[in-house]
Structure 1
């Protein structure tokens, strides 16, 4: 029997989906960036005006050309932005980086005007003054901005809200690290039990109600359930992971500094769930396109199945889908009509080591045309209709028969938190050559934890290669 705690509302969304949640704390971050851009443009414009009008007033009118000012601002702003000086924390105070960026852009601008007007260009000494006043203005304004920000934060204003999840003995140490940054307000502390299945919904309700922007979480609290980062991600909460002696490397993470310590950080997207709904739109459009394109192939396979053996063209079977919802999966029939009844007699020959799956290389139930269809995975083509109906995705963990699901342990049900797929990481990593269910689960977890649209696209391309090479197909 299925665990009733894991079979939830049929309309509960995929783990990776969200209802257009905006990144928490986005207003403060955008305000900081806008102010920095404004003071940089103001400094650059003032420096240009001073250098071209008061240093050498006898120069030609070209020095006051508005288009040249705009080109200057465009070049310098682009180079400043690429150096990361509009990011938070130490990045905006990277005065060495600012000086380097302004220097490079000033030299570049000089050569552009030299090539454009070789006989009537601005004097090099003007650029020297422009370079010096630009650096002075930008660094001075940024220092004033930093002092003002620190003053307000000491007053408890414009701080980001932070929640800490770790062992109780780490509480004082972590809070001390956070307070060194003078930009966070710790809104609460809890141990890892707050992420247990029975407490999870209450924890995330608390985080939403308190408008928590960022969470600092110990690796021990999340290492065996890293999929939970999707909960934070789609609530608009940025996650910082407490450093560990082991090297942590996640495709979604980057390092950020808190209290001068580097933390692997998974930033919430500006608009949560957008990438997942792009995936669903692609699933619908691409499956509809393939159904129309493969219509002649569908008809040909149907005729061959009828000529090969008695029985229906299609095979339908109950499978466990998203959040424990059962659905009928469609395949072209590749076995004799009474295949499921015969399977009980073949259980002793199961080649899966732990017996969760049933896999047999020379399965006597497979028909002649069925062997050909399986070799090239053509039997899976009708599942495009399951994708079209929203029961499956093109890419995802493979939906399993109820016979296999009945042998699941509680930890295995995490694969039901996302839409099942026609193909997935398991299929492109060996398919039937993998003879241990725990290895399958590891691949499913790797897919869930590292999912992105690009990852799906890579699996799709690898699937084509695996199908053509007939890797692990039987």
Structure 2
């Protein structure tokens, strides 16, 4: 499991905050020395302000961490960021003052330090505000939303619904509520949200619907074998929140891969279990780099796109592109684009070839597939160039450059519970399976384990490494 404090994105956030702090001190220094009037302006040579700046960098770096500046942009109001910024700066000033006293550093301009403190609070607040509002606008416009299913329909469930409806800019959307009593089906809980199912049918619902988070908002003792449903959600990679009733001992459950935390969910305190990377900043950078990378690659390879299109049209009747319905993050449906490498009615012929499937599990693969267009189709598959149009899926926000490959709905219907956790991250054009030396000989179970290994050890550096190795796989024509 990726720890939030160990991600590259968190390091980038810290580095940016330190850069802003350094800039604020330099700005305060030049303002005091050169721009203020003679009565209050100017600075003496002593003390050494390079030493003071070094002490500030160390002290503020420590205070940012101690004061909890690096929190979720989705779940916390901006006021929390502002107060954390103020507290961090005040603590940093205290630490620097103590160190200067201990080292007998005298003569530091109090006005300079005061101007620096004000500038730093303003610049840090502005930077966090820009990021906060940008993410808020994206979620309000329907991007990066999260679907929430609530177990319960009484006061706790109503409190959660009210909190979500009050903070719509966070991007959370309530699907409905589940209950244990059949007579409650169809009843309205709050703001038009109804009881849409029973807890006993939870597995079926999670398999066939998009659920990003599952919130238990009822006394746990009322849920028979409640640990089974926690294990179910964990196995599928769905984040679980429990609104505490202080009777959690009714659930004798120990998560296998999920991390347990106590959090505030839009002001409602809860215990959460999450088995996927939770750093939203890291995911944001991953997506932004994906958009930029996809745009650049598409632009550079435009002549290749045209050449492939011409070759397909001259070799086979039918369209250049092949579209197929796939499932994305937590089961979101989308149309995946590929260059067509098979005859025009390949999907109809597949049923007749089912007995020759060389892959165990629900995936279909065949070494000498008669549906492949001779020459062009074989070349595109060997080099994996048939996957290039998926850059359009990346630009549409449906996929990333790196991530578990998106399955077709029919395959997912045959998944075991633990297989579904591979849907807990946005799918990608390439992943660990694509760069495995013997990928065509791997079993379906081994393929799934590679995808889960990617999720559990995800980092931006690993994504970069996979992209480099994928380029090598394309050049060595190891595809099928």
Instruction: Please report the TM-score for the alignment, with normalisation by the length of structure 1.
Output: 0.51
Tell me the equivalent position of 1:7: none
- The Cα shift of 1:235 comes to 6.8
1:413-432 counterparts in 2 under 5 A?
Answer: 413-430=420-437, 432=439
1:222 is matched with 255
Label 1:365 to 1:232 Cα distance change in 2 as closer, same or farther (>3 A). farther
Task: Return the offset for 1:310.
Answer: 1.7
Q: Could you say what secondary structure the match of 2:293 adopts?
A: helix
1:365 partnered with 2:371: yes
Decide whether aligned partners of structure 1 residues 26 and 195 sit closer, same or farther in structure 2, where only a CA change above 3 A counts. farther
Q: How does 1:183-198 map to 2 (within 5 A)?
A: 195-197=230-232
In structure 2, the CA distance between the partners of 1:415 and 1:35, relative to structure 1 (3 Å rule), is same
Q: Is the 8 A contact 1:18 1:235 kept in 2?
A: no
* Residues 234-253 of structure 1: pairs in structure 2 closer than 5 A: none
How far is the alpha carbon of 1:308 from its aligned partner?
A: 1.2
Distance 1:299 1:394, change over 3 A: same
What is the Cα deviation at residue 325 of structure 1? 2.2
Q: How many angstroms apart in 2 are the aligned matches of 1:335 and 1:277?
A: 36
Residue 342 of structure 2 is aligned with which of 319, 335, 341? Answer: 335
1:402 shift after superposition: 3.1
CA-to-aligned-CA distance 1:268-318 (integer Å, 9 cap, x gap):
8xxx41111111111222212222222111111010011112221111111
- In 2, the alpha carbon distance for the partners of 1:48 and 1:18 equals 38
| 1:405-458 deviation per Cα after TM superposition (whole angstroms, max 9, x unaligned) | 232223222222221111112111247424311111111111111212222111
The answer as to 2:438 corresponding to 1:402 is no
SS at structure 2 position matched to 1:307: helix
Whether the 8 Å contact between 1:335 and 1:370 is mirrored in structure 2 is yes
> Does the Cα contact within 8 Å between 2:294 and 2:395 map onto a contact in 1?
yes
Q: 2:241 aligned with 1:204, yes or no?
A: yes
1:45 equivalent in structure 2: 100
* Aligned counterpart, 2:398: 391
Aligned-residue CA RMSD (Å)? 4.5
Pairing 1:34-73 to 2, within 5 Å after superposition: 41-49=96-104
* Contact 1:312-1:333 within 8 A present in 2 as well: yes
The C-alpha deviation readout for 1:323-356, integer Å capped at 9, x for no partner, is: 222221111011111211211222121111x242
Among candidates 297, 301, 309, match of residue 304 of structure 2: 297
Contact 1:351 1:435 in 2 (8 A): no
Given the alignment, which residue of 308, 316, 336 partners 1:309? 316
CA offsets, 1:206-225, max 9 Å, x none? 26x99xxxx9xx997222xx
Given the superposition, is the C-alpha separation of residues 251 and 388 from structure 1 closer, same or farther in structure 2, using an over 3 Å criterion? closer
1:258-277: CA deviation from partner (whole Å, max 9, x where unpaired)? xxxxxxxxxx8xxx411111
Distance 1:378 1:365 in 2: 18
Distance in 1, matches of 2:399 and 2:460, equals 16
Counterpart CA distance in 1 for 2:262 and 2:401 is 25
Checking the alignment, whether the CA contact within 8 Å between 1:426 and 1:440 is kept in structure 2 is: yes
User: 2:451: which partner in 1?
Assistant: 444
SS in 2 for 1:394: strand
Q: Deviations over 1:113-140 (max 9, x none)?
A: xxxxxxxxxxxxxxxxxxxxxxxxxxxx
Contact 1:331 1:383 in 2 (8 A): yes
- In 2 relative to 1, CA 380–201 (structure 1 residues): closer, same or farther, beyond 3 Å? closer
| Distance of aligned partners of 1:419 and 1:47 in 2 relative to their CA distance in 1, 3 Å threshold | closer
Tell me what 2:59 maps to: none
Counterpart position of 2:462: 455
Distance in 2, matches of 1:283 and 1:193, equals 37
Shift of 1:464: 1.0
Q: Distance in 2 between matches of 1:311 and 1:328?
A: 18
What TM-score, normalized to structure 2? 0.50
Question: Can you list the C-alpha shifts for 1:234-269, whole angstroms capped at 9, x where unaligned?
Answer: 97999999xxxxxxxx999xxxxxxxxxxxxxxx8x
Question: Could you tell me whether the CA contact under 8 Å between 1:20 and 1:274 is conserved in 2?
Answer: no
Change (3 A) 1:29 1:292: closer
Corresponding residue number in structure 1 for 2:136: none
Residue in structure 2 matched with residue 54 of structure 1 by the alignment: none
Between Structure 1 and Structure 2, whose CA radius of gyration is higher?
A: 1
2:292, 2:459 → 1: CA distance?
Answer: 18
- Unmatched 5+ stretches in structure 1: 1-16, 50-62, 71-187, 242-249, 253-267
Report SS of the residue matched to 1:204. strand
Instruction: State the secondary structure of the residue aligned to 1:405.
Output: helix
State the shift of 1:32 in Å. Answer: 9.5
Higher normalized contact order (CA 8 Å, seq sep 6+, divided by chain length): 1
